[in-house]
Structure 1
Amino acid sequence: MMKKLISIVAALVFISCSTDQDRNYNLSKVDPALVGFDKESLERIDDFILSSINNKEVAGTSAIIIKDGGVVYHKAFGMADIKNKKKMEKNTIVAIASMSKLMSTVGALIIYDRGLYNLDTRLDEILPEFKDPKVFVSYNSETKSFVTRAADGPILMKHLFTHTSGLVYPFFTPPEIGREGYMQGRVYDAWSPDTSLTLEENIKRLSSLPLVDDPGKKWHYGLNMDVLGRVIEVLDGRSFALFMKEEIFDPLGLRDTGFRLPKSHWKRVAKIYSSLDGGGTEFLCCPEYSDTELEVLGQPRFTIDTYKQSMRTVAMGGADIYSTAYDYARFLQMLLNGGTLDGARILGRKTVEMINRPLSNLFSPEDKNTAMGLSVGVVVDDRLNYEHHSTGSYFWGGYFYTSYWVDPKEKLIGVIMNQINPSTSRLNDKFHQLVYSALD
């Protein structure tokens, strides 16, 4: 049935399977059978991706699987730009959103390896604006002011890495805990079109707002990796974007990865969609904000075309990076190798091992098998797991339906990139399931 499905939709979608890019990026393409995969089972992945495209769940997909350091699967399907009939290629560039967090974490760990802080270092020793943090009590909408109390303790560096600092994303803040006040703070989470805004200024604005909880008490998804970016600037001296380029992107040969793309790359950036009905509706930033809130922020609604061509200078470590499935897989392979790739040493081996250490159970208290490592979800014990993840596997995803995982036990990496929000698709879960099911 699935073979028949492929033939039906073949005229509607495109597939790109050239091996040139594999050679250029110095990751060897290997016979799946030689590293423990059943080839026919791997082909089922194609069927499910094509089905998702045909059902208008996603417009286009690029995916890659690395096993034992070799590429066993690397394909692209569907469309990157429906209106202009541009197909999704293996080198199509996408907005990876929260998959930026692990890259920013590695940047901060490079500074850690140089002995400039430890995980128990107080944040205010590096960024004095975070001294004596306050915690939200209530918000007075008439006076437009917060009622706060002193926090139980300081924010520590480990709280940033594990999203337990009490810092939040403004758009995740409900009205009952002062959403209006957080909007008035004019803190940008990502995709800022403000060409004059600096990371220093944005983080100072953030520091003036109350925490939603005492540091270390609860898990709250927030601007923690963005603060880490500012920590890097203060301790290293370079801008965060330049640091990431010189310390990670360039040494690893990530030619299609960065905060700002050169004009020559724009034509390879995929459109982001909010709906695939008709010819597709492009995603407009930012649906979580009302028109009034955007007016307060001074931010119009815009598409990715507007953003990629902007001359903004701020780089937000939590969600601002563009990349490809291939580049991101190379980055993950560096981690799987213990901090090195193609002769480039990015992190020390023992520092890499900290990333998937289950440091906080506040991430999902009801799920005893999932903990928080350094910006990643970690599988604590595969004996408690309903799915295939091995103990020590780590994972995360991005707002536009991108995701990755690393399984150190199996020496396995999976990356899948789509560009849609919202999405009701289960494609990424199916991709993960089928990869593991194809192992002999």
Structure 2
Amino acid sequence: MKTLILFLAAVLVSASSAAAQQSSSIIDADAVARINSNLGSFVESGAIKGVSAMVFEKDKEVYFKAFGMSDEEAGIPMSRDTIVQIFSMTKPVTGVALMRLHEQGKFKLDDPVSKYIPSFANLKVATGKDENGDLILVDPKRPMTIRDLTRHTSGLAGNHGPAWVKELIKDNPLKPENTLEQAAEAFSKLPLWFHPGSQWSYGPSVDMQARLVEILSGKKFDVYIQETILDPLKMTDTSYRVPESKLGRMAGIYWRDDNTGELSRKDDEKDFNTKPYPMTPGGWGLTATIDDYMRFARMLQNEGELDGVRILKPETVKLMATSHLSENVKERSWLPSKGQVGFGIDFAVRVAPPQSKNEPNGVVGEFFWDGAASTMFWVDPKSDLTAVMFVQLRPFDKIGLQKAFRNAVYGPRVAD
């Protein structure tokens, strides 16, 4: 009898422990219902054509569902096999590629970029225009470093900033017909628009990271990531160029009219990914399925390893997921719209909990990024959770889709 009582007690303790563990999960039945309701409502209202979302928690798939159409005109539904253009979600892939070379001792983060791209040694900084309309050029206060490239403090001219900054890149160094080498040479002939390290501004910094990968590895960038990241992680549907055999799985991109809210499809959006252009940018350009990108995100969640394949060392992932953005950098463009974040190596890093309900929900220590077509992913080490959402909506999310997805995942819990 005593043995039976002890056995029953052990069973009750085990069941209680299992129930407690289950109740502590982020993705429970309520979360699933919230996600389904939130994402489904965006499709039903006509705000988007299609969307899919996937969540892993404690290294298990706990949520996947696709809503609506990937290609409404062709009658093709959104699915886990849908190939989407991930735009800036290419950047973390580039960061991983670069940091593999860092592990090999190929460079230091505070090395000047000119050590590897000599033409960058003569860069000037434009501080504005004089009364004649000519640029005022001065020497940079310090050289641009590789760390500047990884945290967007390089000063390279992009599509943000004053009108005269955009004029600098009117010939587009990153045009599809150029190689990364040609793009680097073109940027070396242009002035910076602020002193390295003084501002945060989104731009072509990650594309120059890709060029560094080529220089340091001796391989073309697309070849290097294929051999060292995509193939080892079995990301079989991730590429710059979508082969003809897979074009039927490629989602259409839909542009939203700001005035009417109506969606219109632009087929020329697929041009870059369907023609044999030489450009393989580090900052954008990859296509992927949601399963593929989740494998990449899970590798980061698992501190650089997935299914027995190690891509990065744990300390390297930690370095990437730590903010490198000094508090002295006050000018941060639109980065504050992402919440209480700093910036690591090609990720935003949450450094404080949301200060209001208007901010994106999330947990301190998470790192994440998104793409121009409103795609997103994040890694939440504290909760052991990884989430990916795929959609093809442009311009970038003006309907609150990303915030709704985050809120649905975390629910009313307080992020701390």
- Taking structure 2 as the reference length, the TM-score comes to 0.85
Over the aligned positions, Cα root-mean-square deviation in angstroms equals 2.7
Matches within 5 A, 1:224-243: 224-243=205-224
Matched, 1:153 2:124: no
Return the offset for 1:279: 9.1
For the pair 1:174 / 2:162, whether they are aligned, the reply is yes
1:9 equivalent in structure 2: none
Deviation above 6 Å: which 4+ runs of structure 1? 31-34, 140-143, 276-279, 365-368
Could you tell me which amino acid in structure 1 is paired with residue 400 of structure 2?
A: R
1:376 aligns with 2:347: yes
SS at match of 2:387: strand
Q: List aligned pairs for 1:345-384, cutoff 5 A.
A: 345-360=310-325, 361=327, 362=329, 363=332, 369-382=340-353
Q: Distance in 1 between matches of 2:368 and 2:361?
A: 13
* Aligned equivalents of 1:157, 1:64: Cα separation in 2: 33
Aligned residue number for residue 404 of structure 2: 430
Between the aligned partners of 2:124 and 2:402, the Cα distance in structure 1 is 39
| Residues 366, 47 of structure 1: alpha-carbon distance in 2 compared, 3 angstrom cutoff | closer
Aligned-pair CA distance for 1:384: 5.8
**What are the Cα deviations for residues 251-280 of structure 1, in whole angstroms up to 9, with x where unaligned?**
001011111222222111100011388994
1:390 alignment counterpart: 363
The residue aligned with 2:394 is: 421
Residue of structure 2 in register with 1:405 after alignment: 378
SS at structure 2 position matched to 1:390? coil
Amino acid at match of 1:403: M
2:131 and 2:227 mapped to 1: Cα distance? 46
What's the counterpart of residue 17 of structure 1? none
Give how far 1:178 is off: 4.2
Give the aligned partner of residue 151 of structure 2: 162
Of the candidates 240, 246, 256, which is equivalent to residue 275 of structure 1?
256
| Residues 340-368 of structure 1: CA deviation (Å, up to 9, x unaligned) | 11111101110110111121143457999
1:215 aligned to 2:196? yes
* Residue in structure 2 matched with residue 309 of structure 1 by the alignment: 274
Pick aligned residue for 2:45 from 47, 55, 60: 55
Report SS of the residue matched to 1:382.
Answer: coil
Q: What is the distance in 2 between the residues matched to 1:333 and 1:163?
A: 25
| Residue aligning to 1:66 | 56
Query: How far did residue 174 of structure 1 move?
Result: 3.0
Q: CA–CA distance in 2 between the matches of 1:121 and 1:132?
A: 16
Q: How far apart are 1:369 and its partner, in Å?
A: 3.5
Shift of 1:35: 4.7
Shift in alpha-carbon separation, 1:120–1:187, aligned structure 2, 3 A: same
Larger-Rg structure = 2
Stretch moving more, 424-433 or 269-278: 269-278
- Alpha carbons of 1:121 and 1:265: their partners in 2 closer, same or farther (altered >3 Å)? same
Change (3 A) 1:428 1:178: closer
CA–CA separation in structure 1 for the residues paired with 2:376 and 2:212: 26
1:427–1:279 Cα change, 3 Å? closer
Q: Percent of aligned positions with the same letter in both sequences?
A: 30
Whichever residue aligns with residue 231 of structure 1, its letter is: L
Q: 1:367 to 1:264 in 2, by over 3 A?
A: closer
